[in-house]
Homo-oligomer: A and B are copies of this chain.
Amino acid sequence: MSVAPDWIAVDWGTSNVRAWAMSASGTVLAEAHSADGMGTLARDQFEGAFRRLTDGWVAAPAIACGMVGARQGWAEAPYRQIPCVPLGEEAARPESDLDVRIIPGLKQRTPPDVMRGEETQIAGFQALNPNWDGVICLPGTHTKWVQVSAGEVVSFQTFLTGDLFAALTEHTVLKHSTAGEMSDEESFRAAVHDALAKPERLAARLFGIRADHLLNDIPQDSLRARLSGLLIGAELAAARPYWLGQQIAVIGAPGLAKLYMMALAAQGVPAIEANAERMTLAGLKRARECMKLPT
């Protein structure tokens, strides 16, 4: 049975791509995903990847967010400059017989910073929580802290925390001491506290993980939790102006969002959690309204 969407919503990141076949009323008719991330494709390979992904679906206009709009993506969607609402009318159109519109990311001049994809999740969160003011934390490979006021993104700051955690656990000597699951919440919380209390000691803590494994046989899952706590704690120390005395919403994949919720709760900061995929889809629906696609 073929799928006949009114439009197609696409979340196209560096490592993965996900598409939803949507009805006009916003119902998901079908879903598809693949590992054809932006990072794996040359410019002339995006159209083929899109056609493979939506194979069996009747052609329809598509709206895409994420790294697909980067300079190395399908078509560059130049950053919009904050302060501004997260989504506007602007879109990049790849050269193609397909009707594809790519949502631009946002940029901040001082201090320099950029986002691509998170603006769509923020717009989705706003659509589901009208008139919400506060700070949105979007944990991921590159975690964003975003101050939202009167519907506009007014400032943001990106942290390399997820990327750094992966590099440390896969490409340094710590890989021999941080295998396994991150189940030790006590170690995590203690490390967050340590990093926040003495941020200047961070560099001294990292090799300590290796030494504690060699000399004291501390289990690797505890050491993994400690490393995660140290890095998230260091992020919280640097992001303090964003969360101190603020209303926080954490938008992320469930496991990672839970860590940030725990870390914030330990500082007495109230936060609500929202599912990243749901926010992305809500944001893509909102983008369709902004761009006034034919319905």
Residues of chain B within 8 A (CB-CB) of A202 are 199, 202, 234, 238
Query: A203 and B173 in contact (CB under 8 A), knowing A114-B215, A211-B113?
Result: no
Q: Does A222 contact B (CB under 8 A)?
A: no
Question: Does A186 have its Cβ within 8 Å of any Cβ on chain B?
Answer: no
Chain A residues 24 to 68 lying within 8 A of chain B, measured CB to CB, are none
Question: So how many copies of this chain end up in the complex?
Answer: 2
Q: How far is the CB of A162 from chain B (nearest CB, A)?
A: 9
Helix, strand, loop or mixed for chain A's interface?
Answer: helix
Report the nearest B residue to A109, measured CB to CB. Answer: B215
Q: How far is the CB of A139 from chain B (nearest CB, A)?
A: 13
- A294 sits at the interface (CB 8 A): no
Residues of B within 8 Å of A125, CB to CB, are none
Identify which of B79, B172, B200, B216 contacts A200 (C-beta below 8 A). B200
Could you list some 8 contacts between A and B, CB below 8 A?
A: A159-B207, A160-B206, A161-B203, A163-B172, A199-B202, A200-B237, A203-B231, A203-B234
- A residues sitting closer than 8 Å to B (CB atoms) are 79, 107, 109, 111-114, 141-142, 157-161, 163-164, 166-168, 170-174, 199-204, 206-208, 210-212, 214-216, 231, 234-235, 237-240
